[in-house]
Structure 1
Amino acid sequence: MSKLHIFQKVSNVIVYLFFLSATVYTVVSPSDGEVGEGHTYITPSFWISYVWTLIHLLLGGYVIYQWFEAAHDAAIHGVGWHFVISVLLSSAWLGLLKSGHTLIAFIFVLLTASSVSYVFYNLEKNYHAGSIYDKLFIHAPFSLWHGWIVFGAVINFFQLVSHTSEEGPGVWSRIFVSLGVLFLATTAIGYVEFKKQKGDVTGAVVIGLGLLAIFTNQQDAWIHWFTLAAAIVTLLYPARPYVCKLVGRNSDAENAPLLG
């Protein structure tokens, strides 16, 4: 292992600890009990923020597992310096949301999504999981993170361009929210279909849980029930290959990985 590789891995550990502390401050204990400061008609319930608990747990496993020989190539060349970049961008995004700089925060969440997306697709294409440890501590954390950042970007976008009123949502607000929910649901389905039914179930589940969190937080009847329907479809869709197998149709269910 070269000195540069050691420096890179040490840097991963340092920024992970920074990321953990920044997340505890800005997400786990926000002042208003919501994800971010601005409340909109697509704002989810606070409990969805605890997805970060699992993400951080698995990323903690990553910064430990990177020191093992089996993870060296994927960590150094598959993830590379994008872990450091993604952590710093994501921490800046959360801090900007906390301080109410919604527009700048949206720019940073898009940059974070770009960096995490690079890692996600590079791992899927070039560094296939060879063991359960590869799945848990290399592929799974970035799959979860990718799904979460897509969900967070949509929430941030609505904070930027919409607002609530005492009269409740109008027709156009309901349509706008429905389009956002539909985008999230179709994105989750796209995760599952990625690589011809050998795609990323974890990212789809994150978005599905996010839709459930919107359902539990929004009381307008149209938004409430439409989001529930989208959440149900999103969460059940990954089981489609297994259902097809049970009814005797051809599928790749036996090859579909649970961790992407």
Structure 2
Amino acid sequence: MSSRYDIFLKTSNLLSYILVLGVNSYFKAIEERPGDDGSDFKGNSTHGNGTHGAVPLTHILPATYTFGIWGLIYALLGGFVIYQWFNSADVATVEGVKFYLILANLGNIVWIVLWRMDYYMLDVFVAACVLLALMFAYNNLEQYPPKSIYDRLFIHYPFTIYPAWLIVATTLNFWVAFQALDTVFFSTIIVAVFGLIGLSFVDYCKRKDVVFAGTLAWSLIGIAVRQYESLSILIAAAVSAGLIIGGILRVMVHEIITWWHLRTQTERTERSPLLPTQN
């Protein structure tokens, strides 16, 4: 039986999710009502990310379709706030995710509002706090490995894809706030750093997290597609994405081989005849 704290936590998760979804929907509705000149409600040209409105052009801005990952993130979080009420998700929700989703949702709302008000420098701090809260949840969930496909889909995946994507989104925020960094040189370096982070999660992290790394690869492909005119950024993004995808394939092949060996060993054990009894 759930305690009052458990019920309060899960209810807060649900309400904060509904709130952040409502705020996003409101600003999305405003964004989709451009003026006669093709500008958004603030007069900015719409380079939008599909969620937070117009995004100023920078050297690390991914292709527009890349931001569609927000839809996947919110869909998975929607699954989580429903699945959390099942007994099988109780421990991971209360002891793993804790109150970090509530902090992330409230921070997301502040992030959206500050972005709309062009307070980019303050927005970077808020985005970093949201990322930090999600990384705490991500690290905590390592102690609660998935026991079913539902655990994987509705507990682990949302708290893996979300922080991985926010690494890129927060850096993009930083590039917008501090325009002195928005050069080909610094942008090439940070794109390479994205690649190293993704590669470390799939090759050197204990969890061999192909989902986290794959999210970063998705972002890097988007950067390569949009920044194709800048040769150094294109090369850095393409090579980084390729290395990550290569690491993901290595992990998948290793898991398949391990599974096959276990299966064949089990079959041999089951089929082997009993040894004759010696007198």
TM-score (norm 1): 0.84
Q: Is the 8 A contact 1:62 1:137 kept in 2?
A: yes
Give yes or no for the alignment of 1:70 onto 2:88.
yes
Write the mapping of 1:117-136 to structure 2, written as runs, cut at 5 A.
117-124=135-142, 126-136=143-153
Amino acid at match of 1:127: Y
User: Deviation at 1:220?
Assistant: 2.2
Distance 2:78 2:236 in 1: 36
TM-score (norm 2): 0.78
1:34 corresponds in structure 2 to 48
Unpaired segments of 5 or more residues in structure 1?
Answer: 256-260
CA distance 1:137–1:114, shift in 2 (3 Å): same
User: Deviation at 1:25?
Assistant: 4.5
Write the mapping of 1:106-185 to structure 2, written as runs, cut at 5 A.
106-124=124-142, 126-162=143-179, 173-185=183-195
Unpaired segments of 5 or more residues in structure 2?
Answer: 33-39, 41-45, 262-279
Q: Is the 8 A contact 1:66 1:72 kept in 2?
A: yes
CA distance 1:26–1:47, shift in 2 (3 Å): farther
Distance 1:2 1:236 in 2: 46
Identity of matched residues, %? 26
User: Deviation at 1:61?
Assistant: 0.7
Q: Is the 8 A contact 1:58 1:137 kept in 2?
A: yes
User: Deviation at 1:92?
Assistant: 1.4
The root-mean-square deviation of aligned C-alpha atoms, in Å, is 2.5
Which of 215, 219, 241 is residue 231 of structure 1 equivalent to? 241
User: Deviation at 1:27?
Assistant: 6.7
Which of 200, 221, 226 is residue 209 of structure 2 equivalent to? 200
Q: Which structure would you say has the larger Rg?
A: 2
User: Deviation at 1:232?
Assistant: 2.2
Distance 1:117 1:225 in 2: 29
Write the mapping of 1:212-227 to structure 2, written as runs, cut at 5 A.
212-218=221-227, 219-227=229-237
Distance 1:245 1:111 in 2: 35
User: Deviation at 1:53?
Assistant: 0.9
Q: Which runs of 4+ in 1 moved over 6 A?
A: 251-255
Distance 1:27 1:185 in 2: 31
Q: Is the 8 A contact 1:78 1:123 kept in 2?
A: yes
| Superposed CA offset, 1:11-68 (max 9, x none) | 1111111122233455795841234532211111221111011111111110001100
